[in-house]
């Protein structure tokens, strides 16, 4: 069923409420800073639009509300208040203080990054909510392009020309090894040394190609023993002595969920680091709330220089 067309305006309702408050056309005109004929015309038009008489007009003695007018007055006050709340909500939305952000993040780094960023941002903007998606790079880029995501925190991997990328942090690759390996006590290790022991690969689209390119650039190929798309599984396999792996995101503990421990070591060769940044679709104008969040991420990560 089609809704009934509205034949009255909020302005007419405001004039009606003002007139009902003072019960005088002349006083209502003064309060609204318009002419008496304009108030009288607006009230007559409102009565015609609603199909009821709102006032009894007393010559030289002002106005009195009819029963219909008393009933409509209550509804009009509610409607005007709701309209004001809508206007304020739209203003807050435009200022970036309210709204929902669809936020994607590279799955390997999401636990380190998202909770603290969201906590800090919501503390400053309690009217903002988040829908979060932890995915690999391919899914994040597709999410940006199909409109599922407003913004993504990810790496500079396989970015296309339609993706805007604002760099935040540089994250160089490093090795993780079992503690009881002979090499496990080393602070620095070469790719050639790593290539001689089993390799546990973080198997995510674009990430696996990046890690492989580090060896290929030095004409080396690691001995693949295991692979997993779960970062914690990779760490657990390494900690249990099944091989080494290469990561680029920082770890704040070398203990794994199964209470094992691994060691970390710098890689002696100069290798291409990954850049963590904020990505969004280039042709999309960021909503104020999304722009505020990207600026907050930049402030938190660039200024501190670490996760």
Only one residue has tokens 């290798």, namely 271
Band of the pLDDT at 27, cuts 50, 70, 90? very high
Distance CA 87, CA 72 (A): 22
pLDDT of residue 65: 93
**N-to-C CA span, the chain:** 55
Of 88 and 102, the structure prediction assigns the larger pLDDT to: 102
Judged against a pLDDT cut of 70, whether residue 92 lies above it is answered with no
Judged against a pLDDT cut of 60, whether residue 185 lies above it is answered with yes
Band of the pLDDT at 171, cuts 50, 70, 90? very high
Cβ–Cβ < 8 Å for 225, 139: no
Between CA 210 and CA 263, with CA 230 as vertex, the angle to 5 degrees is: 75
Domains within the chain, CATH numbers bracketed: 10-94 (1.10.10.10), 98-170+277-304 (3.40.190.10), 173-272 (3.40.190.10)
Judged against a pLDDT cut of 80, whether residue 61 lies above it is answered with no
pLDDT tens readout for residues 43-54: 999 999 999 999
Band of the pLDDT at 5, cuts 50, 70, 90? low
pLDDT of residue 255: 93
pLDDT of residue 306: 64
Core vs surface per residue 53-74: b (16+ CB within 10 A) or e:
ebbeeeeeebbebeeebeebbe
pTM of the model as a whole: 0.69
Judged against a pLDDT cut of 70, whether residue 296 lies above it is answered with yes
Q: Which tokens hold the place of 116?
A: 């603290």
- Judge residue 280's burial from the number of C-beta atoms within 10 Å of its C-beta, 0-12 exposed, 13-18 middle, 19 or more buried: buried
Question: Mean pLDDT over residues 1-9, rounded?
Answer: 69
pLDDT of residue 184: 59
pLDDT of residue 252: 86
Picking from 161, 164, 151, 162, the residue whose alpha carbon sits closest to that of residue 105 is 151
Distance CA 101, CA 88 (A): 19
Band of the pLDDT at 305, cuts 50, 70, 90? low
Question: Mean pLDDT of all residues in the chain?
Answer: 89
DSSP-derived letter for residue 182 is: G
Cβ–Cβ < 8 Å for 242, 196: no
Question: Mean pLDDT over residues 177-187, rounded?
Answer: 77
- The neighbour count for residue 90, using CB atoms within 10 Å, is 11
pLDDT tens readout for residues 231-268: 999 999 999 999 999 999 888 899 999 999 999 999 99
Question: Mean pLDDT over residues 269-277, rounded?
Answer: 94
Distance CA 301, CA 106 (A): 16
Judged against a pLDDT cut of 80, whether residue 182 lies above it is answered with no
Question: Mean pLDDT over residues 6-27, rounded?
Answer: 91
Of 219 and 95, the structure prediction assigns the larger pLDDT to: 219
Q: Find the range with the poorest average confidence among 47-51, 112-116, 209-213, 298-302.
A: 298-302
């Amino acid at each position: 069923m089609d809704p009934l067309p509205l034949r009255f305006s909020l302005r007419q309702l405001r004039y009606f409420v003002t007139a009902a408050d003072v019960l005088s056309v002349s006083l209502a005109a003064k309060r609204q800073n318009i002419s008496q004929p304009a108030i009288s015309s607006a009230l007559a038009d409102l009565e015609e639009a609603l199909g009821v008489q709102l006032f009894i007009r007393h010559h030289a003695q002002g106005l009195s509300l009819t029963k219909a007018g008393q009933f409509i007055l209550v509804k009009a006050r509610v409607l005007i208040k709701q309209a004001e709340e809508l206007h304020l909500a739209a203003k807050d939305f435009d200022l970036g203080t309210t709204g929902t952000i669809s936020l994607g993040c590279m799955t390997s780094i999401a636990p380190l990054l998202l909770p603290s960023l969201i906590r800090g941002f919501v503390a400053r903007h309690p009217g903002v909510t988040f829908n979060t998606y932890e995915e690999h790079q391919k899914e994040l880029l597709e999410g940006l392009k199909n409109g599922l995501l407003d913004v993504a925190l990810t790496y500079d991997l396989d970015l296309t020309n339609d993706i805007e990328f604002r760099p935040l942090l540089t994250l160089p690759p490093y090795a993780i090894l079992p503690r009881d390996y002979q090499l496990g006590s080393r602070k620095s290790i070469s790719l050639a040394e790593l290539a001689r022991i089993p390799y546990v690969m973080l198997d995510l689209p674009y990430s696996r190609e990046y890690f492989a390119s580090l060896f290929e650039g030095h004409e080396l190929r690691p001995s693949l023993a295991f692979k997993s798309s779960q970062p914690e599984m990779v760490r657990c396999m390494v900690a249990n002595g099944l091989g080494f792996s290469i990561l680029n995101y920082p770890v704040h503990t070398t203990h794994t969920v199964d209470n094992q421990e691994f060691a970390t070591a710098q890689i002696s060769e100069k290798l291409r680091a990954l850049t963590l940044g904020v990505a969004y679709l280039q042709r999309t104008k960021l909503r104020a709330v999304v722009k505020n969040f990207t600026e907050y991420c930049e402030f938190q990560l660039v200024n501190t220089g670490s996760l």
